[in-house]
């Protein structure tokens, strides 16, 4: 299996499955490019992992994973990073035989909405049928651990980012500023900063859950403090890098920057962000570009919205295919699932965004230092 490494200078390599074999199974991440001298602790990583931990509240999967992490490499005797790769491990603790047997009962059936069919096509009869293996949302725990390190670096650069729910099914949150959204960040299980809308969303999800169904929605990602100049003009636009990172998350099915798909109904004069003086510097009257021009950060707030599909595991009978027999059969899974992914997946969005930004920062500064570019306009 290829494609388990992301990034070029600041780079993560993640391993691990949903269940794995035996009591020692788990997930791990190796992080290259971590600067020396950072005070990293298990507690700092744990703070991010707790955002995506299952088994908490009524909107999450009942799987009781504590997701306790342990840094096992890259920290010196002075309890700071040495410049060596940082290694973090998270053991699985809730892989009971009962649940393995549930998956075994329909291991030859392809669950609609899951990657099982493609795994059969790509890996044959030895594909991992237990809990979806590497295609499970569980693999994202390793990403969040790597993202926690990236966030720690970004904080020192004055870069702040949050992701939160703005829509669940047909219920939409009101528009909010970054400060307003951050004030109510993680104030409820669905992580919607519009508290009135959040209450309606949670009620709707529970109604859908009682029907054996699951609910989709939309997340918003806001990034403040990114300096102008990150990203390259052609293939490595910052928007392209963020798209790669965010669309690598299994449940993300759509992405838009700034005004997004609304630009299809705009005139050029409406879409263009006109310049203005702002706090003694150059700014923009609007932010339809979402903080990116020519794929390069322009110093404004980066705004991204992401469509999140409903959890594919449902308790409604659907047509499936028995791969060894090559015949259509009925399937009604009974395994554990999240009634919506919105209350946990935002942590993965933040992690992949942080990793991308640190990598882009390192590439930009490396280029500048080698070229010794004298850029008077960077200070404007």
Q: In this structure, what DSSP letter does residue 81 have?
A: B
> Tell me, what DSSP letter sits at residue 285?
S
- In this predicted structure, what is the pLDDT of residue 195? 98
Q: Where are the domains of the chain?
A: 5-379
Name the nearest CA neighbour of 145 among 72, 59, 76: 72
Per-residue confidence (pLDDT) for residue 333, from 0 to 100: 67
Dihedral-angle region of residue 40 (phi above 0 means left; psi in -120 to 50 means alpha; beta otherwise): beta
What pLDDT, on a 0 to 100 scale, did the predictor assign at position 380?
A: 63
Cα-Cα-Cα-Cα torsion 266, 299, 345, 314, nearest 10 degrees, comes to: 10
Q: Which strands sit side by side in the sheet containing 252-257, from one edge to the other? A: 171-172, 160-168, 217-224, 302-308, 252-257
Positive or negative, the CA dihedral 368, 370, 372, 373 is negative
pLDDT of amino acid 377: 66
| 167 vs 198: CA distance, rounded Å | 9
List C-alpha distances in Å: 233 to 239, 302, 316.
Answer: 10, 17, 47
Contacts of residue 66, defined as CB under 8 A and 6 or more positions apart, other chains included, come to 53, 93
| CB-based contacts of 283, cutoff 8 Å, min separation 6 | 275, 276, 277, 300
What does each of the 380 residues of the chain score in pLDDT, given as a tens digit? Answer: 899 999 999 999 999 988 877 677 899 999 999 999 999 999 999 999 999 988 778 887 777 778 899 999 999 999 999 999 999 999 988 777 777 787 788 888 888 998 889 988 899 888 887 777 788 888 999 999 999 999 999 999 999 999 999 999 999 999 999 999 999 999 999 999 999 999 999 999 999 999 999 999 999 999 999 999 999 999 999 999 999 999 999 999 999 999 999 999 999 999 999 999 988 888 999 999 999 999 999 999 999 999 999 999 898 999 999 988 999 999 886 677 889 999 999 999 999 999 999 999 999 999 888 887 777 766 66
CA dihedral 170, 176, 180, 184 (to 10 degrees): 10
**How is 297-340 classified by DSSP, letter by letter?**
E-SSPEEEEEEEPPPS--SS-EEEEETTTTEEEEE---S---SB
| Superfamily for domain range 5-379 | Chorismate synthase AroC (3.60.150.10)
CA distance 226 to 326: 52
User: 102 near 331, Cβ under 8 Å?
Assistant: no
Q: How far is CA 303 from CA 22, 232, 323, 353, in A?
A: 43, 19, 43, 12
Q: How far apart are CA 129 and CA 135, in angstroms?
A: 10
* pLDDT score of 272: 98
Long-range contact pairs involving 277-281 (C-beta distance under 8 Å, separation at least 24): 281/380
């Amino acid at each position: 299996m290829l494609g388990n490494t992301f990034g070029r200078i600041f780079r993560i390599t993640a391993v691990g499955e949903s269940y794995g074999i035996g009591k020692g199974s788990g997930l791990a991440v190796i992080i290259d490019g971590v600067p020396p001298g950072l005070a990293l602790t298990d507690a700092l990583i744990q703070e991010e992992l707790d955002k995506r931990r299952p088994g908490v509240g009524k909107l999450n999967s009942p799987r009781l994973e504590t997701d306790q992490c342990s840094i096992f490499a890259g920290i010196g005797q002075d309890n700071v990073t040495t410049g060596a790769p940082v290694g973090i491990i998270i053991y699985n603790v809730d892989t009971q035989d009962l649940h393995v047997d549930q998956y075994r009962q329909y291991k030859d059936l392809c669950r609609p909405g899951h990657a099982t069919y493609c795994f059969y096509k790509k890996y044959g009869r030895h594909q991992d049928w237990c809990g979806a293996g590497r295609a499970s949302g569980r693999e994202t725990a390793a990403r969040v651990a790597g993202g926690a390190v990236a966030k720690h670096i970004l904080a020192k650069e004055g870069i702040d980012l949050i992701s939160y729910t703005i829509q669940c099914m047909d219920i939409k949150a009101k528009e909010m500023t970054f400060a307003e959204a951050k004030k109510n960040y993680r104030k409820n299980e669905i992580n919607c900063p519009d508290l009135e809308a959040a209450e309606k969303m949670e009620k709707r999800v529970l109604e859908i859950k009682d029907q054996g169904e699951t609910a989709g929605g939309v997340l918003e990602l806001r990034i403040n403090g990114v300096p102008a100049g990150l990203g390259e003009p052609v293939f490595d636009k910052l928007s392209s890098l963020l798209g790669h990172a965010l669309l690598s998350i299994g449940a993300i099915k759509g992405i838009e920057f700034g005004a997004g798909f609304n630009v299809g109904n705009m005139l050029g004069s409406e879409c263009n962000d006109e310049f203005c003086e702002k706090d003694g510097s150059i700014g923009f009257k609007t932010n339809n570009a979402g903080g990116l021009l020519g794929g390069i950060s322009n110093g404004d707030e980066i705004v991204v919205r992401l469509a999140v599909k409903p959890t594919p595991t449902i308790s409604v009978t659907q047509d499936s295919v028995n791969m060894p027999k090559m015949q259509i059969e009925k399937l009604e899974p009974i395994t554990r699932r999240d009634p919506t992914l919105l209350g946990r997946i935002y942590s993965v969005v933040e992690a992949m965004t942080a990793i991308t930004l640190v990598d882009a920062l390192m590439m930009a500064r490396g280029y500048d230092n080698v070229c010794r570019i004298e850029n008077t306009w960077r200070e404007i």
